[in-house]
Structure formats: structure tokens, C-alpha cells
Amino acid sequence: DAGVIQSPRHEVTEMGQEVTLRCKPISGHNSLFWYRQTMMRGLELLIYFNNNVPIDDSGMPEDRFSAKMPNASFSTLKIQPSEPRDSAVYFCASSSRESSNQPQHFGDGTRLSIL
Amino acid sequence: SQQGEEDPQALSIQEGENATMNCSYKTSINNLQWYRQNSGRGLVHLILIRSNEREKHSGRLRVTLDTSKKSSSLLITASRAADTASYFCATDKGAAGNKLTFGGGTRVLVKP
């Protein structure tokens, strides 16, 4: 079975540009999570969805960040405008139920560099 | 500060030795999970232990949970070079729903 698929794997762009990260969760999973990982701050939860509905976006750093889940098989994380401090690895994860007793399945991330 | 804090931050051992790492957390939990992350890859779920469990095994992994001390440990027995990775604990803060908070991780290097 395919795991969580993220694209692109790497993105290098100049500050001020719009960046869109994409995620396809595991089929049948109804919870989706967006994380950001940096050396300084570790792994931070940005936002998560249950059944395509955003549940908690308290980790979204600024209004420059937005996330959508238009259907059960696709989600996007958008940064507009991007800044150098947004450079990080962004992970998407999915789980099968809305419960903390379920493992989360991670994609291999998008390594984002903002110049 | 993060809910889970791992200790040590880094660990270097020889192949065949055991590796032990600890996780401390601040608030009550329903479950605690351990994940592994290989360089350049996403996290992989290893094991989940519920708050009413004290010990759990999975292959060469042994996890303990002491809710009175708000701590957990992960033991990897007979380590292999392929166990080289970062290991993270994740807790749910006892709240409803499926939000997890990850610790800072322990980097484990297993030397052949």
C-alpha cells in the first residue's frame, strides 16, 4: 500500500514567493496533520484535520500560512509570502481514526529553503 | 516547552549493545508513543503504550511507562547499525482527540 505522499520533496525559492506543499494521505485515513521540523524548534504541529475539517490550527505561525483539505485524499499547505525563517522540513502525516491511540503515518517531507 | 523531553540528546554505542533512552512529560496522558526517524525520512511509528500499561514489548524494543513519575523509557536490545536514527516520544496531553506533542528526540549512533 502506498504511504503518505508529499510533493515536492525539495523546494528552493526566493523570499516573497508563494510556496505550496502538497500531501496525499493514506487511503481511508480520516485524520491529517501538518508538521514543521527545524533544528532549533524540533517537530511542531502546525494544523490538523479530522474528516477534512480543520480542528486545531493554533500551531500555524502567522497569517502567511494557510492549509486546506478540499477532499479526503488531498491537502495543501501554502506560505504566502515566504520568508527565510520558513526554511524547514515540512511533514504531512495521517492516521486512521480520530483518537490518540492510533499511530500517525508520516510522509518523507518537503525540504523547503527560502533564499 | 515541549510536552515530551528525551534524555539523552545523543547516544553512541557499539553494535550488539543495548540502547536506553528516556522521555519525561509534564501533564497527564492517555497514551505515549515512540517513533523513529532515519536521516532524510519521515517518522515511523514503533510502539504505543497506554496510560494503564506499565511495560510493552515489540521485537527488540521494550517500553516502560511510569505515570507517577511522568516518564517513559525505550530500550533497544542487541542494537544493530540499522538502528542508527533519532527516536522521539509523543504524548497526547490527556486531551480528547488525536493531537500529539513530540519531544526533541534522542540521536542514536550504533557503530559497527
List of residues 6+ apart from B96 with CB closer than 8 A:
none
The minimal CB distance from B41 to the residues A31, A42, A108 is found for A108
Q: Which of B26, B25, B21, B24 is nearest to B9 (CA)?
A: B21
List of residues 6+ apart from A63 with CB closer than 8 A:
none
Whether the predicted pLDDT of B2 surpasses 60: no
pLDDT tens track for B67-109: 999 999 999 999 999 999 999 999 987 666 678 989 999 999 9
Q: What is the rounded distance in angstroms from the CA atom of residue B13 to the CA atom of residue A104?
A: 29
DSSP conformation class of B103:
-
A 6-25 residues inside an 8 A Cβ radius of B: none
pLDDT tens track for B17-60: 999 999 999 888 899 999 999 999 999 999 999 999 999 999 99
Cβ burial of B60 (10 Å; 0-12, 13-18, 19+) is: middle
> How long, in residues, is chain B?
112
Q: Residue B93: closest CA among chain A residues belongs to which residue?
A: A100
- Best of B56, B91, B93, B100 to substitute, by most chain A Cβ atoms within 10 angstroms, is B100
Q: Which three cell numbers stand for residue B94?
A: 490527556
